[in-house]
Amino acid sequence: MPSKQVKSMLKKGMYYFSGNEASAEGAIAAGCRFYAGYPITPSSELMERMAVRLRELGGVFIQMEDEIASISAVIGASWAGAKAMTATSGPGFSLMQESIGYAAFTETPCVLIDVQRAGPCTGQATRVGSGDIMQAKWGSHGDYQVIALAPWSVQEMYDLTLRAFNLSEQYRVPTLIMADEAVGHLRENMIVKEKMEVWHRKKAAGVAPFGTEDEDGIPPMPSFGEGERLAVTGSTHDPYGFRKTDDPEVHSRLVTRINKKILNHRSEIIETEDYFLDDSEFVLIAYGFTSRTSLYVVKSLRKEGMKIGLLRVKTLWPFPEEAVEKVGRRARKVIVPEMNLGQMAGEVRKFCRCDVIPLHQTDGEVIRPETILGILRRVA
Amino acid sequence: MVRAMEKYIRPGVKSTPFCPGCGHGILMGLILRAIDELKMDMKKMVFVSGIGCAAWIPSPHYDGDTLHTLHGRALAFATGVKLYKPELCVMVVSGDGDLSSIGGNHLIHAARRNIDLKVICANNMIYGMTGGQVASTTPKGARTSTTGEGNPYRPFDLCRLVEAAGATFVARYAVTQPVALIKAIKKSLLHAGFSFIEVLSPCPTQFGRRNQSDQPEDMIRDLMRRCILEEEAKGLTEEEMAEKIITGEFRS
């Protein structure tokens, strides 16, 4: 198996980190030894920590001329054999979209941390938002899949970054951490365990690197310099990497496979957490920092005897439709609080038959418990 | 291409994709000759290209690792490859539009870092693949599909641009100067640092037919007449110089 249990990089114990620092440590733990980035608030501390840590470990750090160059260098390094990453925020995330599509189409493992701020455009650079959720799925042109995870704590900035690398290596897919400013700048304790699971991309010599008959749909990925004479291209290509830009069958087969290899593994990829869902008439569905507020509200209302629960979405993409559908079958009303104008609420509506009430907030502030309480008192 | 160079061509590749009269095929062969003369190990070479006609020179034809990237981004991808695996020889072959227009920012920054990349810029002075639009290298006054009245702006002098940005090996030759060009490519392969060779390559299909001539031999003859060395330029009047293109190694 290409996954194994290894000793953690940091000594086992408790650490007091910011979310951005924890994410950098999670990357280092996963084996990330290449970072290319461009400064942008509120993600810059992540890059600064990577600059220090990679120097200590003999990895490669480079500050590029812009975000397009950053993600492109990351993809180049990945083909040279690196576990590679970059981090950014809204405007930089927009610039990176074409290369994310390239990574998806060439099946290049790489990790991108988006510490979301209040958009659109330059927006409020130092303020929080969750406006990039749909862009994470649909930002580049054409049909492709990414995996996107949403951490709610400093602990998860570490754990999910580590997991993002594992998923990225396992499925040969760009994997995104959709953090937000509040989680990125939050400081709290987190725990590093003695051991952790680490994945490495599957390798095989003399095998087609862009096509497979295997059921899992994931071909092995050799690196440059290994004598495999790789032909990597963002044009439609056959299993050996030859451009086939006018063959309908090759195009359809490739696009279908890169989508299916993710969607067929939904059950292994998707993680959600249930809180008091068994008897809940009202359910909050939330992700990122907002799920902390949501849990606080749920716990307070439970004390008052209200039958309310929380579905916390840890994997944004692929979307946890089964879990949401299950909630929708039993709940009377579902409330989706998020720091945008209802990006995930729309997705929830697709799979919930019950009443779905979005709670929008785009003022650059985190959603406060009173706000969620207010809407609950109105609808309950 | 002669049989001797066939060993460097990826099995399964048949003909070149270039138009009749295009200079890129000549360049494709000259790069391989330089590699052959230095006995470079193709297994340790990575060829990175962007988008456009010139990006097809190495991809998928060369039998090393090829990375055919996005439009303009070849140098950024190549930077990642080279930094992570410095033992590989990383060559970037792309066009003038790709490297100096959409990718202009990456070009000056890669030169500034003096990172060990061997850049070969096939300059046909026009966007060939997309139908002959004006480029950042199109001569002033030249007609293209987007400048029917003649290009109102002056072009980049790519060699001076990258030299000012920090490139440590800079040369310009046309495909009509094959011996000098092979020599320059060899020097670039042995050079530690950012090297940049601008290679003038005729595009009869898009540039020629709108300007001087769509006859390949006319365009080749024209390049032979216009490309002179720095020393040859010394005695010429301003009028004589106007149509000349100075070639040579400007920094080595």
pLDDT interval class at A88 (50, 70, 90): very high
- B65/A224 touch (CB, cutoff 8 Å), yes or no: yes
Q: Where are the domains of chain A?
A: 3-199, 274-379
- B67/A98 touch (CB, cutoff 8 Å), yes or no: no
A229: tokens are 């004479």
Question: CA dist A53 to A29, A164, A349, B172, Å?
Answer: 11, 19, 43, 42
Cis check: omega of the bond before A318, within 30 degrees of 0: yes
Nearest CA in chain A to B103: A69
Residues of B in contact with A235 (CB under 8 A): 68
Chain B nearest-CA distance from A85, in A, is 11
Q: What percent of chain A has pLDDT over 70?
A: 100
pLDDT at B16: 85
- A232/B67 touch (CB, cutoff 8 Å), yes or no: yes
pLDDT interval class at A2 (50, 70, 90): confident
Give A255-295 pLDDT, tens digit per residue: 999 999 999 999 999 999 999 999 999 999 999 999 999 99
Q: What percent of chain B has pLDDT over 90?
A: 93
Contact B165, B100 (CB under 8 A): no
Q: pTM for this one?
A: 0.98
Give B157-180 pLDDT, tens digit per residue: 999 999 999 999 999 999 999 999
Contact B23, B43 (CB under 8 A): no
- B67/A79 touch (CB, cutoff 8 Å), yes or no: yes
How far is it, in rounded angstroms, from Cα A303 to Cα A309?
Answer: 12
Give the residue among A174, A201, A79, A57 at the shortest CA–CA distance from B76.
A79
Q: What percent of chain B has pLDDT over 70?
A: 99
Phi, psi (deg, nearest 5) at residue B143 = -90, 135
- Side chain identity at residue A266, one-letter code: R
Q: What is the 3-state secondary structure of A296-360?
A: HHHHHHHHCCCCEEEEEECEEECCCHHHHHHHHHHCCEEEEEECCCCHHHHHHHHHCCCEEEEEE
CATH number belonging to the domain at B19-251, selected among 3.40.50.970, 3.30.1330.40, 3.40.50.150, 3.30.1330.30: 3.40.50.970
Residues of B in contact with A73 (CB under 8 A): 76-77, 79-80, 83
Per-residue burial over A62-94, b if 16 or more Cβ lie within 10 Å, else e, is: bebbbbbbbbbbbbbbbbbbbbbbbbbbbbbbb
- A80/B88 touch (CB, cutoff 8 Å), yes or no: yes
- Which residues of chain B from 102 to 161 reach within 8 Å of chain A, CB to CB? 105-106, 109
- Flag whether residue B77 sits within 8 Å of chain A, measured between CB atoms: yes
- Flag whether residue A240 sits within 8 Å of chain B, measured between CB atoms: yes
- B69/A234 touch (CB, cutoff 8 Å), yes or no: yes
| Antiparallel, parallel or unpaired: β B169-174 and B227-229 | unpaired
Phi, psi (deg, nearest 5) at residue B94 = -155, 180
Best residue in B84, B91, B92, B99 for a mutation probing chain A (most A CBs within 10 Å): B84
How far is it, in rounded angstroms, from Cα A30 to Cα A198?
Answer: 6
Mean pLDDT of A120-128: 97
Q: Is 3.40.50.1220 the CATH number for A3-199?
A: no
- Which residues of chain B from 170 to 229 reach within 8 Å of chain A, CB to CB? none
CATH number belonging to the domain at A274-379, selected among 3.30.430.20, 2.60.40.10, 3.40.1440.10, 3.40.50.920: 3.40.50.920
Low-confidence ranges of chain B (pLDDT < 70): 1-2
> Which H or E run contains B161?
helix B158-165
Strands (E), B64-210: 65-68, 89-95, 118-123, 169-174, 195-200
pLDDT at B15: 83
Q: Is 0.90 exceeded by the ipTM?
A: yes
* Domains A3-199 and A274-379 alike in fold: yes
How far is it, in rounded angstroms, from Cα B23 to Cα A326?
Answer: 63
Chain A nearest-CA distance from B69, in A, is 6
How far is it, in rounded angstroms, from Cα A250 to Cα A235?
Answer: 11
Best residue in B42, B45, B63, B83 for a mutation probing chain A (most A CBs within 10 Å): B83
- The percent of chain A in helix, strand and coil, each rounded to the nearest 5, is 40, 25, 35
- A64/B79 touch (CB, cutoff 8 Å), yes or no: yes
Place of tokens 């008052």: A304
Give Cα B13 to chain centroid, integer Å: 22
- Mean of per-residue pLDDT scores for chain A: 97
